[in-house]
A and B are shown apart, each in its own frame.
Chain A
Amino acid sequence: MGRFWQRAVLRIALLGGAGAGIGLLYDRPWLGLAIAMLAGLLYQLLWLGRLDAWLQGEKLAFLPEGEGVWARVFSRVDFLKQRNRRRSKRFKALVKQLRQATRSFPDGGVILNESNEIVVFNRAASMMLGFKKKDRGLRVENLLRDPDFVDYLRSDEQSEAVEIVSPLEPDTWLLCHIVPYGLNQKMLLVRDVTQQHKIEHMRRDFVANASHELRTPLTVITGYLDALSDDPQLDAELRVPMEEMSAQAARMRQLVDELLRLSELEADRGVVDGSPVDMRAVVETARQEARAQPNCPATIEAVLDSDQGLRGIRKDIQSIVSNLVSNAVRYTPAAGQITIRWWIDKSGAYLSVRDNGPGIAREHIPRLCERFYRVENGRERVGGEGGTGLGLAIVRHALLRHGGSLNIDSILGEGSLFTCYFPVSRIVAVD
């Protein structure tokens, strides 16, 4: 107990004592004590009333000085009050700074609540999306009506961003990304990607145009080569170089075709719908193609665990399977074995191609689907005559178009396993 409190107790005791003493003079000590206590209580109440009045009247900056313990209580309350005032001042300044920061933020930000209603947005967002101040409380999909965005907003999977055309400028592309935070709150981040879009477009156009332009001269070259090699007067020693030239021209032709195919796949960003594709037929075709390749391994086994097919584009799915199988053939020795498997489980449909070739070192796997990426040492090609280096890139893009993905497992010296995944929604029955 502090000094103040000791003194307060002492004062009550003294007051009580005095009251009782005076009462004793009149032979009524208890009455005296009671009156004294009552007076003391009223006095305390008076101070309590003052404190209450002061707490209520915020404007009353100065503080009744108080007396005894009250002085102490008052100064404590005053201290708390001042500390609060300082704190809220600091917070206000902080909020102001944050506001200014978000305002100058180059990317748009919109905060959405659980039913996708707009809570707040920054200036960039209102510039890019055309939101007005009174739009707060509106559902965001009522203003951003692009079907791609609406699908993205309603899907649970919001890890990837979606690109939409700006509702204000038809030539402006915006990248929208929804990030969930807190309790059911969402932040919609918007970035202007028109420039990247243009560059990407130009690159794709360039590749497509260049490949297309290369085709014509190539046709002329192969035409003359064919005519010349049929010529009976041709020198015997020129035969071998001629054949080599034809082979290389054919290879170049394949390269150009695949480049065109790839740029075609890349240009079509969206997911395609398509029609039912019979996987048995697809796998059978891939097997036959593989048999036609030189140095085909002894056994190519096909295990089809399901009769179901896939909804998609036949040409794309065929090129996925054929590319994987022909890759496997290329890297598997003649005594090796290749297994193609097709199966379905609860999470989706799978197609895998397993070989027991030399395998791929771990560090190469992430880059395997890049265009022209070739493993230099680990994967010795068996046949010598290689692919174009575009096969896996085509596989990946064709899979993306069908909402699927590619998984690669490999152990050096034991073989590789390429597994394609397709979502459940793609599984259909075929007759």
Chain B
Amino acid sequence: MESEIFGQHISRKFNEELEGLRSQVSTMGGLVERQLTSAIEAIVSADSQLGIEVADRDVLVNQIEVEIDEECGRILATRAPAAADLRLIVAVIKVITDLERIGDEAQRIGILAARLAAEERPANRYDELKTLADHVLDMVHDALDAFSRLDAEDALKVVEEDKIVDEEYDMISRQCITLMMEDPRTIHRFMDVSWAARALERIGDHAKNISEYVIYLVQGKDVRHTEIEAVREQVERAKEFK
């Protein structure tokens, strides 16, 4: 019962390889999601130990990325895939690069969390950072779901979401600057906060990239660097066509 797009190979083994590849990407995605949740938890609860753990665990993410990369290379070499299969391999290679970057950003947040834990915390316990983080986490989750389900419409929603995240990030930076000007002694701390927010904003961008690869994978159309309206139009047209 492989999904429709990839279910028509004479070689059952090939089907299994492709399905296995998708599962591997999901596993990597799950790990990255966990890393991100833990990193945010570390900031919010000022848990330096957890922050350091997250930073150390990034090795695992990198390891899986290398494994998947090798598997992709092997399939390309032995199966010479075409059409949708080729798109899948290409998309996977791109998706894991972005996932790995998300992992790196999570690592950075973990290190920042360990540093921030040593300092005085603001009364709102980094509430605005948490809101942004929850938003970003949802984006990553939805992008990975869209990849699993091969759902271009869900992917489009994630792409649209990115704008809100960018706005939230702007708000946090402005807030940080204001607070730094008010009391220069907090500059050090709020620099770290704004770095964390920056990392989260980057993660949002990576989630957006993943969604764009999903649209490419499902519809065979590259929608990177296009206006959101054009992307929406493309997704809707493909839906009608279907």
- Residues of A contacting B137 in the complex (Cβ-Cβ under 8 angstroms): 170
Bound-state CA distance A167–B23 (Å) is 17
Write the chain A residue with the least CB distance to B29.
A145
- Residues 100 to 138 of chain A near chain B (Cβ within 8 Å): 113, 115, 117, 119, 130, 132, 134-138
- Residues of B contacting A115 in the complex (Cβ-Cβ under 8 angstroms): 16, 19
The residue from B1, B16, B22 contacting A142, defined by CB atoms under 8 A apart:
B22
Q: Are A145 and B30 in contact (CB under 8 A)?
A: yes
Write the chain B residue with the least CB distance to A113.
B1
Q: Are B31 and A147 in contact (CB under 8 A)?
A: yes
Please give the distance in Å from A334's CB to the nearest CB on chain B: 45
Write the chain B residue with the least CB distance to A143.
B148
Which residue of A115, A135, A139, A167 has the most chain B CB atoms within 10 A of its CB atom? A139
Q: Are A147 and B34 in contact (CB under 8 A)?
A: yes
The number of chain A residues with a CB under 8 A from chain B is 23
Q: Give per-residue flags for B25-38: 1 if the beta carbon is below 8 A from chain A beta carbons, else 0.
A: 01101110110010
Please give the distance in Å from B132's CB to the nearest CB on chain A: 14
Q: Are A141 and B27 in contact (CB under 8 A)?
A: yes
- Residues of A contacting B19 in the complex (Cβ-Cβ under 8 angstroms): 115, 139
Task: Check: A150 CB closer than 8 A to any chain B CB.
Answer: yes
Please give the distance in Å from B126's CB to the nearest CB on chain A: 16
The residue from B29, B141, B148 contacting A138, defined by CB atoms under 8 A apart:
B148
The residue from B3, B33, B134 contacting A145, defined by CB atoms under 8 A apart:
B33
Bound-state CA distance A167–B29 (Å) is 13
- Residues of A contacting B22 in the complex (Cβ-Cβ under 8 angstroms): 139, 142
Q: Are A138 and B27 in contact (CB under 8 A)?
A: no
Please give the distance in Å from B133's CB to the nearest CB on chain A: 10
Bound-state CA distance A139–B141 (Å) is 16
Q: Are B134 and A170 in contact (CB under 8 A)?
A: yes
Task: Check: B144 CB closer than 8 A to any chain A CB.
Answer: yes
Q: Are A138 and B3 in contact (CB under 8 A)?
A: yes
A135-B149 contact given A113-B1, A117-B1, A145-B29, CB 8 Å threshold: yes
Bound-state CA distance A139–B22 (Å) is 9
- Residues of B contacting A135 in the complex (Cβ-Cβ under 8 angstroms): 149
Bound-state CA distance A138–B5 (Å) is 12
Bound-state CA distance A117–B22 (Å) is 13
Bound-state CA distance A130–B149 (Å) is 12
Q: Are A137 and B145 in contact (CB under 8 A)?
A: no
Bound-state CA distance A146–B33 (Å) is 8
- Residues 383 to 423 of chain A near chain B (Cβ within 8 Å): none
Task: Check: B120 CB closer than 8 A to any chain A CB.
Answer: no
- Residues 18 to 57 of chain B near chain A (Cβ within 8 Å): 19, 22-23, 26-27, 29-31, 33-34, 37
Write the chain A residue with the least CB distance to B134.
A170
Bound-state CA distance A126–B208 (Å) is 26
Q: Are A139 and B23 in contact (CB under 8 A)?
A: yes
Please give the distance in Å from A173's CB to the nearest CB on chain B: 13
Q: Are A146 and B1 in contact (CB under 8 A)?
A: no
Write the chain A residue with the least CB distance to B145.
A143
Q: Are A145 and B144 in contact (CB under 8 A)?
A: yes
Bound-state CA distance A150–B148 (Å) is 15
Please give the distance in Å from A124's CB to the nearest CB on chain B: 19
Bound-state CA distance A145–B19 (Å) is 15
- Residues of B contacting A145 in the complex (Cβ-Cβ under 8 angstroms): 26-27, 29-30, 33, 144
- Residues 131 to 157 of chain B near chain A (Cβ within 8 Å): 134, 137, 141, 144-145, 148-149
Bound-state CA distance A137–B26 (Å) is 15
- Residues of B contacting A134 in the complex (Cβ-Cβ under 8 angstroms): 149
Please give the distance in Å from B16's CB to the nearest CB on chain A: 8
The residue from A117, A132, A147, A170 contacting B30, defined by CB atoms under 8 A apart:
A147
The residue from B1, B34, B134 contacting A137, defined by CB atoms under 8 A apart:
B1
Write the chain B residue with the least CB distance to A132.
B149
The residue from A119, A138, A165, A170 contacting B149, defined by CB atoms under 8 A apart:
A138
Please give the distance in Å from A333's CB to the nearest CB on chain B: 45
Task: Check: B2 CB closer than 8 A to any chain A CB.
Answer: yes
Bound-state CA distance A167–B145 (Å) is 10
Bound-state CA distance A115–B3 (Å) is 13
Q: Are A142 and B134 in contact (CB under 8 A)?
A: no
- Residues of B contacting A137 in the complex (Cβ-Cβ under 8 angstroms): 1-3
Write the chain A residue with the least CB distance to B41.
A170
Bound-state CA distance A134–B153 (Å) is 14
Q: Are B26 and A142 in contact (CB under 8 A)?
A: yes
Q: Are B3 and A146 in contact (CB under 8 A)?
A: no
Bound-state CA distance A119–B1 (Å) is 9
Bound-state CA distance A2–B30 (Å) is 73
- Residues of A contacting B141 in the complex (Cβ-Cβ under 8 angstroms): 167
Write the chain B residue with the least CB distance to A134.
B149
Please give the distance in Å from B7's CB to the nearest CB on chain A: 9
- Residues of B contacting A117 in the complex (Cβ-Cβ under 8 angstroms): 1
Please give the distance in Å from B33's CB to the nearest CB on chain A: 6
Q: Are B148 and A142 in contact (CB under 8 A)?
A: yes
Please give the distance in Å from B225's CB to the nearest CB on chain A: 28
A141-B145 contact given A113-B1, A147-B31, CB 8 Å threshold: no
5 further A-B pairs in the complex, CB-CB below 8 A; given A136-B1, A137-B2, A142-B26: A113-B1, A117-B1, A141-B23, A143-B26, A145-B144
11 intermolecular pairs with C-beta atoms under 8 Å apart: A137-B1, A138-B148, A138-B149, A139-B26, A141-B30, A142-B26, A145-B27, A145-B33, A150-B27, A170-B37, A170-B137
Which residues of B are interface residues toward A (Cβ below 8 A)?
A: 1-3, 16, 19, 22-23, 26-27, 29-31, 33-34, 37, 134, 137, 141, 144-145, 148-149
Which residues of A are interface residues toward B (Cβ below 8 A)?
A: 113, 115, 117, 119, 130, 132, 134-139, 141-143, 145-147, 149-150, 165, 167, 170
Sorted nearest first, the 6 A-B pairs with minimum C-beta distance are A145-B30, A142-B148, A137-B1, A142-B26, A145-B26, A117-B1
